[in-house]
C-alpha cells in the first residue's frame, strides 16, 4: 500500500503547483463579484488552462485535448483545489460528463464541433433530465419530441437543472414514442440553450439561493443532427451519462461539505480544548470524521483505479449514501451546540455561518444524483447480488402505465 | 385514569384548528415584510384564546395548563407565526409571582394580545440585576424586537433571579437578527442599566417552574408540528408515483413513515403525562417536563428532516411548505437553551428519583 | 387528563395491596429454587388467587372467573408486579391469550373443560405456531394434520416454543390442505402435551439458557373434538390469538427489560454525579428514558382503553418497535462504558451483570412476536394507510408456491 | 499511489484463508474445555505465520506491518480463537525496545508460538512499578491466564512506563474469568511485588506507538469479522424465503445489508490508510490509527448486530455462528480500553492537525 506519489507523479505535481502559483492569481474573484463576473473569470481561466495544455487531459489533441493521462488530471485537480481560483460547478459537467458521453454516442463531426469549445470554457453545459413527475424515476419523463420533417419539435418542462441560466448547451431527454414501454420510447438531444422556445426560470431554494432552474420548452425546433444516439435509444445515453456523472461525483465538492473544521473551531472557541472532555462532541465528531476520511480514501482509490485504466468499483456511491446525511446531522448538532445563538444566522462567526448554511443545503445534497434510498438499492442489487424488487412499470406501454 | 384530552378540550382544539386553517399567515411572514402574523394574533386575541389561562378576575377563562397545552399543540400543528409561548409564560409568571399592580397592569393587556412578552431564561445568565437595574447583553432572544416586555433571568446579589423589564424603557437597545426560522423572529437585547422589577426571589424555584412550563408548552408545539409534517408526508407518499407505483408502497418509505409515527406517538405520550404533571404541580414535573421536551425535540426533528427526504426535490424549493417544518423544528429545539441542557436536566431528575 | 386512580379504583387497589401483603409471601421462591420448584409455587399461587377471586377477572363465574372488570385486572397486575412472588411468563399465555381465543372459536363444552383449570394454574399452555421455515411468515408452516376417521394424525416440527417443557396443553397450527393457498389450508388444534407422539427438546440460546424448545410430532393422534374453528379455517384462529398476544405484550415484561436503573448506578459508582457532565451518557440515557417512559404511558393508556371496553389502538406495537433495539444499544453502551471490565461477565456487580445479560437477550426480544420490520409494515399499512407490497404467495396453492 | 494490498500480500492472505478454513477450532473453544485453539496456534506457528513480522535474525521473515495487518484481517475473518494480537504486539515491543538478551530470549519463542504475550496498556494504570517490582491488580486482561509474559503499563517514579513481566513468577496470581467472548479468554492478574523489566523509558512514546499499532491490528481483525458476517448474512438473505420470496428481496433487508456494506467499505478504507501510516512510521499514525479503530468498531458492531436481526430466530440458538460474531465484536471493541477513549484520541489528534 502506498498513499503517496511515485517520483514521476511527484515531478508532475511540482510542475503543476508552480504553474498554478504563477497563473491562478489572475483568476480569483473579488469577494463582492457577482455571478456574471465569476462566469467571465471561469471562462477565462478555462481558456488559460486549455492554452497551457492543462485541460481535456485524456482527450486527443485533435479534439483540443492534452492527450495525457487520467492520473495527470487527478493530480492537477487536487492541486487546483488548493488555490482560491474562480470555480462554478456547472462548468465541469461538459468536460467530465458530456464530452465522454458524446464520444460514445454522437457522430464524430458533432463531437469535433463541441469538444474543444467545451474544454476551453466557451460552451457551458446543463443536463435536462429531471421533471416534476420524474425525479428518481428518470424514465418517467413526459417532455415530448415529435418528428416534423428533418426537425424535432420539443414541448415540456424540466426541473432541477443546475446552471441552466448560464449554460450554452443542454443535454435533453425527451419522449419520442409514448406507446412503447417507458425506457424504450426516449431519445436524447443536445440543445442550444439560447434558442427560441427555451425559457429558463430560476428556482428559489430553502437556502434562499437559486442554484437550480426550471426549463420550459415551447415548440422548440431542433434539427435531427442534434439527436444523440438512436431514435428511442435515449435510455442508453442516460446510462452512460449517469455513470460518468457518478465519476464526476468523485470530485469531493458534490458529495457534501466538510464540517470537521468548523465544528472543531466552534467548539474550541468556547474554551481551549475543553471539548476533549465533551464525550458527546467526541463521539459525534469521531464518527463523522471516520466517515469523511473513509470516503476520501475511497475516492482517491477509485481515482487511482481509473487513472490506471481500471473500472471504478461500486464503492463510488459510499459517499453519496453517507456524507450528506451526516452533514445534515452534524449541522444540526452544531446549531444545537451553539444553543440560542444558533437560532440567529450569524454574520460574524464564519464557522457557525458555514454550519448554518449546511443545515439548509444538506437536504439537497441528500437527493442530488439520486436519493440515498436509490443508491442503497443499487448497492444491494449490483454489489451484493440481491434480487430486484418486482416492478410493474417496465414492460407496459408508457401511455397505459403510470405515464398514461 | 384518563390519558387523553377531555371532551371539552377536544372541542376547543377543533375550534382553534378551524380558525387557524382559515387565518394562517405564516407564509406571508416567511416571505418577508412582517415579524409575526399580526392579523392572526389579533384574531386569536379577539376570540379569547390568549386569555384562556388567565384568572377570570383579569378577563381570562382560567382554563388551566392542559388547555394551554391544547392551544400550543394546535398552534404548532398550524406552524402559526405568533409569539404565544413567551406571552403565555409571561402571564403565568405575573399570575404566580406578580404584585397586585403588576397583575392589574399586565394581565388584561397580555390576554388581549396588546402586550407581548419575550422570554430570556438562562442557567448562567449573561446579564446582571443590581440596585433595580438590568445590565448586559443577550445575543438572541425570540420575539425580542416585537415584545413590549421581557422576562429575564439575571445575576443578583443573592443569586440568580427573575425580573421583568419594559422594552421601551430608555437604555434598551434591540437589534433584529436573521432567524433560522423567519416565522419566529429573533433579536439581540442590550440593557444599559435599565430599570426593571424583580419577580419572586432568587432561590424560590420560580425560574425552574416557568422553564418547566415553557418546556411543556414547547413540547406540545413540537408535537403539533411533527403531526402535521407526518400527515402531509403520508398524503404525498400516497399521491406521488415512481417506478410505476405510489412511493408509499416502497418499504424504505413505509419504514421511514413508521419511524416518524413511532416518534410522534412517544412524544405525545410524554407530552400528555407532562401536561398532567403540570396541572398537578407535584414533584413529578421536572422529570416529566424534561422528558416531554427531549421526546418532542427528537420527534419533530425526525419528522421535519425525513419529510423533506421523502418529498424529494420539490420540498427544497422556497415555495414548498416542507421548509417551514424544517426551520420551525430547529427554532423550537434551541429556543429554550441547548438541547443538551434538557438532556442533562432529564438525567439529573432521574438520578434524584432513583436516589429517593 | 388524569394519570391517577379514581376513588373507586384507589379503594380496590388498597384492598389488593393488603391481600397481596398477606398471601404472596408464602409463594416466594428461594434464590436457589430450581425450575420444578418454581413451577410448583406458580401453580399453587395461581390456585390461591383463583380461590380468592383474583383470577380470570373478566371471565364469567361459570367458567371459574371473577366476573369482574378489566380495570380490576390491571390494578391487580400492577400491584402484583410490585411484590416478589413466583412468576413464570408462560403461565400467563393460557389466561391472557388462549382462553379468550377459545371463547371465540371453540365449542362451549371445550371452553368449559379448559377454562377453570387454566386460570387455576392446573393447565399451563404453549403456542405451537413457528417452524424452522415459518418465522415471520407463520402461514408458511408445513406441519401436516391428516384426517383419519374421527382422528387427525399430526407430523412435523415446531420451534421457538416458550415453555413447551412445562406446558400441559399446546395450541397447534397445522396444514390440512396443501393444495389450497397458504392461508386457506390451515387448521388449529389443542394438544395435550404429554401425549405419545409429542417430543420436546430444549433449545439452547446464546445467553446459555434454554427458554425455548423444539417440539416434534410423530404420528400424534388427536380426536376431532380438539380441533378449534373450522377445518382449513385456522388462519382466523391465528389472527385472534396474535391480537390477544399483542395485548399480552402490554405486560411490560415481554417488551424488554429496563436498563435505566442499572446504567445510572453503574455510572454513579465511578464517581458521584460526575456522570451529569458526561454529555454522551446524558444524551444516550435521556433518549432511552424518553422512549421507555413514552412506551410505559402508551401501555397504561391502552390498558385503560381496554378496561373501558374500547379497542386498543395501533400504538400497541410502538414498544415492540423501539424498546428491544434500544435495550440492545444501551447494553452495548453500558459494556463499553465499563471498558475492559465489561469484557468479563461480572459475578459481583449486579448492574453490570444485568447489562451484560441484556446484551445476550436483546436480540431475541427484537424478534419475539414478529420482527421490528414486520411491525413497521403493519403500522405503515394499517395506521398510515399505505398500500401493501405486492405479494406473489397469497393466492397460489401452497404446494406449488414457496411451500412446494 | 496504490491503495490496495500488493500481489504478494494477496497471495499470503489467500494461503492463510485456506489454512484457517481447514483448521478452525473456534466452535470447540466456545463450547468449552479449552482457553484457545491450540491446534490452530500450533499450525500457525509451524507454517511461520507467527514469525512473519520478526527480524530475520530471530527466525522471522521481516514482512513488515502491512503483512501483519493482512494476517490480522484473515484471523478476524475466520474468528480464529488465538492470542495473535497480544503476542504480535509483544514481539513488536521487544523488537523496538528490548535489550539484546530480551530479544534473544523472547523473539524466537514468540515467533514459534511457545511464548504468548498478554497486553495491559492503560492510560491511567492501576499498577505501579517501583524498584524493579510490579504491584497492583488488573481486573480483566485478555489471554491473561494463558500467556507466559505480559506487557504492562505502570506508574513509576518518572511517569507511566512499560514493563515486561513473566507470568509464572512468584507473586503473580491469575484467575480466569468468564469472557463475553469465550473464544477470547479473559482473566484477572494480581501482582504482589513481582520482579519485572522495563521496556523503554517513561515518556519515550513507546506505549503510544504500541497502542496505535495494536489498534490498527485490531481494526483489521474487526474488518475481517465484519466482512465474514456480511458474506454469511447475504447468503442467508438469498436462500431464506418468507412471504413467497427470498427475504433479500425486501427493501428493509436490502438496505440493512447495504448499510453493513457501507460500514465495511469505510472501515476498509480507513484500515488500509492506517496500515500505510504504520509502515511509514510518520506523524499521521495517531490520527490514522484512532480513525481505523473507531471506523472498524462501528462496522463490526453493525454487521454483527444486524446479521442476527436478518437471520431471525435461528441466529440466537447456541449452535448458530451468529453469536460468534456478536461476541467477538464486543470483545474487540473493548479489548484495548473503552471505545470512548479512542474517539477522544481521534478528536485530540484532529485538533492537533487543525492547529498545525
Concatenating the DSSP letter of every residue in B115-142 gives S-EEEE--SS-SEEEETTEEEEEEEEEE
**In sequence order, which residues have a C-beta less than 8 Å from that of residue C217 and are 6 or more positions away?**
C143, C154, C155, C156, C157, C158, C197, C198
Structure confidence at residue C1 (pLDDT): 66
Structure confidence at residue A211 (pLDDT): 84
What's this model's pTM, rounded to 2 decimal places?
A: 0.93
**pLDDT tens, B25-44?**
999 999 987 899 999 999 99
B243 touches D at CB < 8 Å: no
Please tell me the distance in Å from B242's CA to the nearest CA on chain A: 6
Percent of chain B whose predicted confidence (pLDDT) is above 70: 99
CA dist B91 and B71 (Å) reads 15
- Provide the CA D43 distance to its chain's centre, in angstroms: 19
Residue B216 belongs to what domain range? Answer: 206-355
Residue C217 contacts residue C200 (beta carbons within 8 Å): no
CA dist A122 and C166 (Å) reads 83
On whether both B349 and B211 belong to a single domain, the answer is yes
Mutate to test the interface with B, among A266, A343, A380, A395 (most CBs of B within 10 A): A343
Structure confidence at residue D80 (pLDDT): 98
CB contact under 8 A, D252 and B251: yes
CA dist C105 and C263 (Å) reads 46
Which entry of C73, C79, C211, C245 is annotated as an active-site residue? C245
CB contact under 8 A, D338 and C130: no
CA dist B309 and C23 (Å) reads 58
Structure confidence at residue A246 (pLDDT): 57
- A126-232: CATH number: 2.40.110.10
| Residue C365 pLDDT class (50, 70, 90 cuts) | confident
**pLDDT tens, A291-347?**
999 998 988 888 777 777 777 777 778 887 898 899 999 999 999 998 778 889 877
Helices A260-269 & A350-367 angle (0-180, nearest 10) = 150
Would the pLDDT of A92 be above 80? yes
Would the pLDDT of A381 be above 80? yes
On whether both B350 and B246 belong to a single domain, the answer is yes
Among B25, B27, B17, CA closest to B49: B17
b/e string for C208-217 if b means 16 or more Cβ within 10 A?
A: eeebbbbbbb
**In sequence order, which residues have a C-beta less than 8 Å from that of residue A52 and are 6 or more positions away?**
A19, A23
Q: Which residue ranges make up each domain of chain C?
A: 7-88, 126-232, 254-370
Number of domains in chain B: 3
Structure confidence at residue A170 (pLDDT): 97
Grouping H, G, I as helix, E, B as strand and the rest as coil, residue A167 is coil
User: Can you read off the three cell numbers belonging to residue B340?
Assistant: 443538551
C274 secondary structure, DSSP code: G
Structure confidence at residue B340 (pLDDT): 95
- What average pLDDT score do residues C345-349 get? 79
Across chain A, mean pLDDT equals 90
Is B147 a domain residue? yes
| Residue C404 pLDDT class (50, 70, 90 cuts) | very low
State the complex-level ipTM: 0.94
- How many other CB atoms are found less than 10 A from the CB of residue D27? 14
Among B54, B82, C278, CA closest to D338: C278
Structure confidence at residue B101 (pLDDT): 94
Helices D84-97 & D206-239 angle (0-180, nearest 10) = 150
| Residue A251 pLDDT class (50, 70, 90 cuts) | low
On whether both D210 and D343 belong to a single domain, the answer is yes
On whether both D136 and D85 belong to a single domain, the answer is no
Structure confidence at residue C251 (pLDDT): 57
Mutate to test the interface with D, among A3, A273, A390 (most CBs of D within 10 A): A3
Structure confidence at residue A78 (pLDDT): 84
Would the pLDDT of C131 be above 90? yes
On whether both D192 and D224 belong to a single domain, the answer is no
Structure confidence at residue A404 (pLDDT): 41
Q: Which of B141, B172, B199 is the last residue of a domain?
A: B199
Show residues of chain B in contact with A359, CB under 8 Å.
Answer: 180, 330
**pLDDT tens, D111-168?**
999 999 999 998 788 899 999 999 999 999 999 999 999 999 999 999 999 999 999 9
Residue C98 contacts residue C248 (beta carbons within 8 Å): no
Structure confidence at residue C301 (pLDDT): 83
Is B321 a domain residue? yes
Structure confidence at residue D219 (pLDDT): 98
User: Can you read off the three cell numbers belonging to residue A337?
Assistant: 451546540
Percent of chain D whose predicted confidence (pLDDT) is above 70: 99
Radius of gyration, alpha carbons of chain B: 20
Percent of chain A whose predicted confidence (pLDDT) is above 70: 95
On whether both D23 and D127 belong to a single domain, the answer is no
On whether both D261 and D347 belong to a single domain, the answer is yes
CB contact under 8 A, C391 and D301: no
Q: What are the catalytic residues of A?
A: 245
| Residue C247 pLDDT class (50, 70, 90 cuts) | low
Is B137 a domain residue? yes
The DSSP bridge pattern shows strands A169-175 and A186-192 to be antiparallel
DSSP line for A244-278: HHHHHTTSGGGT----HHHHHHHHHHTTTTGGGG-
Show residues of chain C in contact with D327, CB under 8 Å.
Answer: 206
Across chain B, mean pLDDT equals 95
CA atoms within 13 A on the CB side of A109: 3
Would the pLDDT of D1 be above 70? no
Q: What is the CATH number of the domain that holds D92?
A: 1.10.540.10
| Burial classification of residue C141, based on how many CB atoms lie within 10 Å of its CB (0-12 exposed, 13-18 middle, 19 or more buried) | buried
**pLDDT tens, D9-62?**
999 999 999 999 999 999 999 998 789 999 999 999 999 999 999 999 999 999
The contacts found for C281-285 with CB under 8 angstroms, 24 or more apart, are C281/A279, C281/B347, C281/C337, C282/A280, C282/B340, C282/B343, C282/B344, C282/B346, C282/B347, C283/A280, C283/B340, C283/B343, C284/C329, C284/C330, C284/C333, C285/B343, C285/B346, C285/B347, C285/B350, C285/C260, C285/C330
- In the block, which residue shows the cell 371453540? C106
Across chain C, mean pLDDT equals 89
CA geometry: angle at B268 spanning B205 and C303, to 5°?
Answer: 110
Q: What is the CATH number of the domain that holds B224?
A: 1.20.140.10
On whether both D93 and D16 belong to a single domain, the answer is yes
C279 touches D at CB < 8 Å: no
Please tell me the distance in Å from A37's CA to the nearest CA on chain D: 33
CATH level 3 topology of A254-370: Butyryl-CoA Dehydrogenase, subunit A; domain 3 (1.20.140)
D250 touches B at CB < 8 Å: yes
Is D1 a domain residue? no
The contacts found for D19-26 with CB under 8 angstroms, 24 or more apart, are D19/D43, D19/D44, D19/D47, D20/D74, D20/D75, D20/D77, D20/D78, D20/D80, D21/D78, D24/D78, D24/D79, D24/D80, D25/D81, D26/D78, D26/D79, D26/D80, D26/D81, D26/D183, D26/D324
CA dist C85 and C238 (Å) reads 32
CB contact under 8 A, C281 and B350: no
Count of CB contacts below 8 A, B vs D?
8
Is B326 a domain residue? yes
CA dist B273 and B3 (Å) reads 8
For A7, nearest residue in chain D (alpha carbons): D1
Residue C146 contacts residue C177 (beta carbons within 8 Å): no
A113 secondary structure, DSSP code: H
Would the pLDDT of C402 be above 70? no
Which segments of C354-398 are extended strands (E)? none
Is B2 a domain residue? no
**In sequence order, which residues have a C-beta less than 8 Å from that of residue D223 and are 6 or more positions away?**
D73, D76, D264, D267, D268, D271, D296, D299, D300
Structure confidence at residue C198 (pLDDT): 97
- Provide the CA C46 distance to its chain's centre, in angstroms: 18
Show residues of chain B in contact with C297, CB under 8 Å.
Answer: 3, 269-270, 272-273
On whether both D107 and D127 belong to a single domain, the answer is no
Structure confidence at residue D351 (pLDDT): 94
On whether both D185 and D303 belong to a single domain, the answer is no
- A293, D84, D92, D339, D351 from D291: Cα distances, Å: 8, 22, 21, 11, 13
Q: Which of D138, D170, D199 is the last residue of a domain?
A: D199
**pLDDT tens, B146-186?**
999 999 999 999 999 999 999 999 999 999 999 999 999 99
Q: Which of D166, D199, D232 is the last residue of a domain?
A: D199
On whether both B244 and B336 belong to a single domain, the answer is yes
On whether both B350 and B214 belong to a single domain, the answer is yes
Structure confidence at residue A182 (pLDDT): 92
- What average pLDDT score do residues D238-261 get? 93
Region of poorest pLDDT, from B196-200, C77-81, D285-289: C77-81
Structure confidence at residue C300 (pLDDT): 81
**pLDDT tens, D193-236?**
999 999 999 999 999 999 999 999 999 999 999 999 999 999 99
Q: Which CATH superfamily is domain C7-88 in?
A: Acyl-CoA dehydrogenase/oxidase, N-terminal domain (1.10.540.10)
3-state secondary structure B243-300: CCEEHHHCHHHHHHHHHHHHHHHHHHHHHHHHHHHHHHCCCCHHHHHHHHHHHHHHHH
Could you tell me which residue, A162 or A41, shows the higher pLDDT? A41
**pLDDT tens, C201-244?**
999 999 888 889 999 999 999 999 999 999 999 999 999 888 77
Structure confidence at residue D116 (pLDDT): 98
CA dist B26 and B46 (Å) reads 19
Amino acid at each position: 500500500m502506498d498513499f503517496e506519489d511515485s517520483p514521476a507523479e511527484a515531478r508532475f505535481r511540482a510542475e503543476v503547483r508552480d504553474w498554478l502559483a504563477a497563473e491562478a492569481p489572475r483568476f480569483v474573484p473579488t469577494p463582492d463579484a457577482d455571478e456574471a463576473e465569476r462566469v467571465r473569470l471561469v471562462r477565462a481561466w478555462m481558456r488559460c488552462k486549455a492554452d497551457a495544455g492543462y485541460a481535456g487531459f485524456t482527450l486527443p489533441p485533435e479534439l483540443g485535448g492534452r492527450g495525457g493521462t487520467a492520473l495527470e488530471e487527478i493530480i492537477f485537480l487536487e492541486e487546483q483545489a488548493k488555490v482560491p481560483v474562480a470555480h462554478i460547478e456547472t462548468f465541469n459537467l461538459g468536460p467530465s460528463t458530456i464530452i465522454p458521453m458524446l464520444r460514445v454516442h454522437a457522430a464524430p463531426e458533432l463531437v469535433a464541433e463541441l469538444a474543444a469549445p467545451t474544454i476551453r470554457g466557451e460552451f457551458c453545459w446543463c443536463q435536462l433530465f429531471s421533471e416534476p413527475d420524474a425525479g428518481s424515476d428518470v424514465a418517467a419523463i413526459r417532455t415530448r419530441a415529435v418528428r416534423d420533417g428533418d426537425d424535432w419539435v420539443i414541448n415540456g418542462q424540466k426541473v432541477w437543472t443546475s446552471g441552466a441560466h448560464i449554460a450554452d448547451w443542454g443535454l435533453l431527454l425527451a419522449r419520442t414514442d409514448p406507446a412503447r414501454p417507458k425506457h424504450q420510447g426516449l431519445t436524447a438531444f443536445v440543445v442550444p440553450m439560447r434558442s427560441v422556445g427555451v425559457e429558463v426560470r430560476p428556482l428559489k431554494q430553502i437556502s434562499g439561493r437559486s442554484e437550480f432552474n426550471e426549463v420550459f420548452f415551447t415548440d422548440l425546433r431542433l434539427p435531427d443532427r442534434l439527436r444523440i444516439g438512436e431514435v428511442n435509444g435515449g435510455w442508453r445515453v442516460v446510462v452512460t451519462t449517469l455513470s460518468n456523472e457518478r465519476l464526476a461525483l468523485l470530485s469531493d465538492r458534490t458529495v457534501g461539505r466538510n464540517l470537521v473544521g468548523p465544528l472543531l473551531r466552534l467548539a474550541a472557541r468556547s474554551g481551549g480544548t475543553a471539548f476533549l472532555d465533551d464525550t458527546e462532541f467526541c463521539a459525534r465528531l469521531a464518527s463523522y470524521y471516520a466517515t469523511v476520511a473513509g470516503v476520501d480514501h475511497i475516492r482517491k482509490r477509485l481515482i487511482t483505479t481509473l487513472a490506471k485504466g481500471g473500472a471504478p468499483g461500486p464503492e463510488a456511491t459510499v459517499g453519496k449514501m453517507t456524507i450528506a446525511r451526516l452533514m445534515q446531522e452534524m449541522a444540526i448538532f452544531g446549531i444545537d451546540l451553539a444553543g440560542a445563538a444558533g437560532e440567529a444566522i450569524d454574520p460574524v462567526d464564519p464557522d457557525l455561518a458555514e454550519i448554518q448554511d449546511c443545515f439548509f443545503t444538506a437536504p439537497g445534497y441528500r437527493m442530488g444524483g439520486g436519493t440515498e434510498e436509490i443508491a442503497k438499492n443499487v448497492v444491494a442489487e449490483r454489489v451484493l447480488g440481491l434480487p430486484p424488487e418486482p416492478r410493474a412499470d417496465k414492460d407496459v406501454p408508457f401511455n397505459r402505465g403510470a405515464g398514461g | 385514569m384518563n390519558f387523553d384530552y377531555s371532551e371539552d378540550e377536544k372541542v376547543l382544539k377543533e375550534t382553534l384548528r378551524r380558525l387557524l386553517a382559515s387565518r394562517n399567515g405564516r407564509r406571508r411572514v416567511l416571505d418577508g415584510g412582517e415579524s409575526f402574523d399580526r392579523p392572526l394574533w389579533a384574531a386569536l386575541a379577539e376570540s379569547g384564546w390568549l386569555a384562556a389561562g388567565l384568572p377570570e378576575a383579569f378577563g381570562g377563562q382560567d382554563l388551566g395548563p392542559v388547555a394551554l397545552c391544547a392551544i400550543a399543540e394546535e398552534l404548532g400543528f398550524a406552524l402559526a407565526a405568533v409569539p404565544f409561548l413567551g406571552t403565555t409564560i409571561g402571564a403565568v409568571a405575573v399570575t404566580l409571582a406578580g404584585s397586585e399592580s403588576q397583575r392589574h397592569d399586565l394581565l388584561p393587556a397580555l390576554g388581549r394580545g396588546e402586550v407581548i412578552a419575550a422570554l430570556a431564561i438562562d442557567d448562567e445568565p449573561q446579564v446582571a440585576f443590581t440596585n433595580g437595574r438590568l445590565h448586559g447583553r443577550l445575543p438572541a432572544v425570540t420575539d425580542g424586537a416585537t415584545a413590549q416586555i421581557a422576562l429575564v433571568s439575571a445575576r443578583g446579589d443573592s443569586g440568580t433571579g427573575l425580573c421583568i423589564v419594559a422594552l421601551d424603557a430608555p437604555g434598551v437597545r434591540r437589534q433584529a437578527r436573521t432567524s433560522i426560522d423567519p416565522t419566529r423572529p429573533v433579536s439581540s437585547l442590550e440593557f444599559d442599566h435599565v430599570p426593571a422589577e424583580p419577580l419572586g426571589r432568587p432561590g424560590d424555584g420560580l425560574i425552574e417552574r416557568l422553564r418547566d412550563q415553557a418546556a411543556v408548552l414547547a413540547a406540545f408545539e413540537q408535537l403539533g408540528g411533527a403531526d402535521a409534517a407526518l400527515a402531509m408526508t403520508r398524503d404525498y407518499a400516497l399521491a406521488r408515483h415512481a417506478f410505476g407505483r405510489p412511493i408509499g408502497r416502497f418499504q424504505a418509505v413505509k419504514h421511514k413513515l413508521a419511524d416518524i409515527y413511532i416518534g410522534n406517538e412517544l412524544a405525545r405520550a410524554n407530552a400528555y403525562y407532562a401536561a398532567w404533571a403540570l396541572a398537578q404541580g407535584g414533584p413529578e414535573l421536572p422529570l416529566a417536563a424534561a422528558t416531554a421536551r427531549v421526546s418532542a425535540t427528537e420527534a419533530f426533528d425526525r419528522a421535519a428532516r425525513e419529510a423533506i427526504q421523502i418529498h424529494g426535490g420539490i420540498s427544497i424549493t422556497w415555495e414548498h411548505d416542507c421548509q417551514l417544518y424544517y426551520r420551525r423544528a430547529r427554532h423550537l429545539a434551541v429556543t429554550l437553551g441547548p438541547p443538551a441542557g434538557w438532556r442533562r436536566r432529564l438525567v439529573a431528575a432521574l438520578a434524584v428519583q432513583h436516589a429517593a
